[in-house]
Amino acid sequence: MPRTQGIYIITNMVTAETYIGSSVDIAERWSDHRWHLKNNRHKNVLLQAACDCDGLNAFHLGVLEHVEQAEQLARREQHYLDLLKPVYNGDEVAIRAPYRTWRSDEADWKRFWSKVDQAEEGCWLWQGTMLRQGYGCFKIAGKMYKAHRVAYLYAIGPIPAGLALCHTCDNPRCVRPGHLFPGTYKDNMQDAMRKGRMATGERSGARLHPESRTRGDKHWTRAEPGR
């Protein structure tokens, strides 16, 4: 098979669910996907779960578009992600493609870390804009992202598709990469219940980790009262 560069789609013929990707060599990527699925090592948990359930032979490969120039791959991939919203690409759809361009943008990177209080010990608290659920948020190229996810992307790398990014410290405002780990949304919920994230009083995060909460003049509501 001649080398094909472009956008491909993997379809589960049992469920009609799909996955979209791009590659400079689609045939090689396809055999890569199959090898990882067969050996139960695919980093996309949704694809792996589907393979475990429906078998490797349920998956079929199709080519959506031949792309002449490699630098157009990400843009064309995003086009199909937006158009077809493939189930197996999960919630990473929005964050994966821009990530490719973030790393090269030093200004965003500097701006991001300037909003982080990098304590020597304990949590690194986000000092920028906060979301109502207690997460920090950060804007890149006009798009909002959760701050802890950005920190992980910058410091460690891509978050596997379909996974949530959980906190070992149970502090949603913390962006310390070492306190973050990818887990399933189910894990995240169970984890939250076990740690009593929604709990109040003695079981609340503020009581369990008082050192992790900034207070007084350092608190973001004081530092940025406009927020």
If one asks whether residue 174 binds Zn ion (CB under 5 A), the answer comes out as yes
Q: How far is the CB of 33 from Zn ion (least distance, A)?
A: 34
By CB under 5 A, how many residues form the interface with Zn ion?
A: 6
Nearer to Zn ion, 7 or 123 (CB): 123
Distances (CA, A) of 170 to 116, 127, 157, 179, 196: 17, 17, 21, 9, 9
Record the tokens describing residue 37, joined without a space: 């699925």
Question: Which positions from 10 to 49 touch Zn ion by CB under 5 A, shown as an x/- string?
Answer: ----------------------------------------
If one asks whether residue 153 binds Zn ion (CB under 5 A), the answer comes out as no
How far is Cα 111 from Cα 141, in angstroms, rounded to an integer? 13
Q: How far is the CB of 152 from Zn ion (least distance, A)?
A: 12
Q: Which stretch binds Zn ion (CB under 5 A): 61-69, 101-109, 147-155, 162-170?
A: 162-170
Neighbours of 21 (CB within 10 A): 22
Q: Which residue among 33, 169, 182, 220 contacts Zn ion (CB under 5 A)? A: 169
Record the tokens describing residue 116, joined without a space: 């982080």
Record the tokens describing residue 137, joined without a space: 């948020």
Q: Which stretch binds Zn ion (CB under 5 A): 8-16, 97-105, 167-175, 213-221?
A: 167-175
If one asks whether residue 123 binds Zn ion (CB under 5 A), the answer comes out as yes
Q: Which stretch binds Zn ion (CB under 5 A): 11-19, 41-49, 108-116, 174-182?
A: 174-182
Q: Which stretch binds Zn ion (CB under 5 A): 12-20, 70-78, 123-131, 158-166?
A: 123-131
How far is Cα 172 from Cα 143, in angstroms, rounded to an integer? 20
Terminus-to-terminus CA distance in the chain, angstroms?
57
How far is Cα 146 from Cα 110, in angstroms, rounded to an integer? 17
Q: How far is the CB of 182 from Zn ion (least distance, A)?
A: 15
Beta bridge partners of 183: 164
Q: What is the dihedral of CA 136, 102, 87, 59, to 10 degrees?
A: -150
Nearer to Zn ion, 92 or 170 (CB): 170
Residues binding Zn ion (CB under 5 A): 123, 169, 171, 174, 176, 179
